Amino acid sequence: MGSPEYLKIVEAIKTKITSEEIKPGDAIQSENLLCEEFNVSRMTVRKGLAVLVNEGYIYSIPGKGNYVCEPDLDLYTLHFDEMMPTEKKGEEIRLLEVNVIKPSYEIGFNLEIPENKHVIVVKRVFVSDGVIKAYDIKYIPYYRGIPIVEKEIRYATFPEMVAKKNSIFAMTKKLKIRATLAKGEVSQSLDVMDGEPLLVVEQKLLDEKDHPIGWGIMYFAGEDSGLEAVACFD
């Protein structure tokens, strides 16, 4: 009752859509008709429709009308916390290595830099209740002023490591997720046997021009450690 008029319009149309009274591709009644129906001004109707557009229920075609969206059921929201649930009791980060190196072919390829440019490599493990949960390797093109002091880098997130050079608002992060088998250095760092299944999350940090400014790989041990995602549509 006390709710704003435009929210009543939102709810009314949402109900029509979820009850399948109107289906994807169908047109909504015109804005002028909605004005009469709800006895409100056109701006109020449009505010309600704007909410539905933002939430992915409808879209507009100028000169024609407002239409119900085909829901994109393949889109999910993934919450990937780079630092695990740090700052909690029993959580700890161990810094294994901070170095300036010449990039391997793979590193140079992923950071799109020539082989004579130096690269910072940071290797850490995340420990929970005494058990190593994840092994994290990050590569960042070297630049003056990059933090390489242990204290600064130990608890730093990927964006924080490059924040001096790039605004976090102008960065994009991309993930690739796959499975692999533990072996060699990775097994040792995670303290697992070779052949254990590992979840691999590859992170790439891009600047506003889509140029890589960081590349990292995280290995997660244990079948219990996984990621969760929720469908966007609500």
Q: Which residues bind DNA (CB under 7 A)?
A: 4-7, 28, 30-33, 39-44, 46-47, 49, 60-66
In contact, 176 and 215? CB cutoff 8 Å? no
Structure-token match 């169908």, residue found: 26
Between residues 81 and 87, which has the closer beta carbon with respect to a second copy?
81
- Tokens representing 46 are 């449009």
- Residue 20 binding partner per list DNA, a second copy, none, with a CB distance cut-off of 5 to 8 Å that depends on partner kind: a second copy
CA distances from 75 to 22, 72, 152, 233 (A): 22, 6, 36, 8
Q: Answer yes or no whether residue 169 interacts with a second copy by CB under 8 A.
A: yes
Between residues 146 and 163, which has the closer beta carbon with respect to a second copy?
163
What type of residue is 230?
A: V
Smallest gap from Cβ 26 to DNA, in A, equals 12
How many residues touch a second copy (CB under 8 A)?
55
> In angstroms, rounded to a whole number, what is the distance separating the alpha carbons of residues 218 and 201?
5
- Tokens representing 2 are 């006390």
- Residue 91 binding partner per list DNA, a second copy, none, with a CB distance cut-off of 5 to 8 Å that depends on partner kind: none
In contact, 138 and 122? CB cutoff 8 Å? yes
Q: Answer yes or no whether residue 179 interacts with a second copy by CB under 8 A.
A: yes
In contact, 165 and 208? CB cutoff 8 Å? no
> In angstroms, rounded to a whole number, what is the distance separating the alpha carbons of residues 16 and 6?
16
- Residue 116 binding partner per list DNA, a second copy, none, with a CB distance cut-off of 5 to 8 Å that depends on partner kind: none
**Contacts with a second copy, 68-107, as mask; x by CB under 8 A:** ---x-xxxxxxxxxx-------------------------
Structure-token match 């691999």, residue found: 200
The site for a second copy (CB under 8 A) is made up of 17-20, 43, 50, 54, 57, 71, 73-82, 157, 159, 167-181, 195, 197-200, 208, 220, 223-234
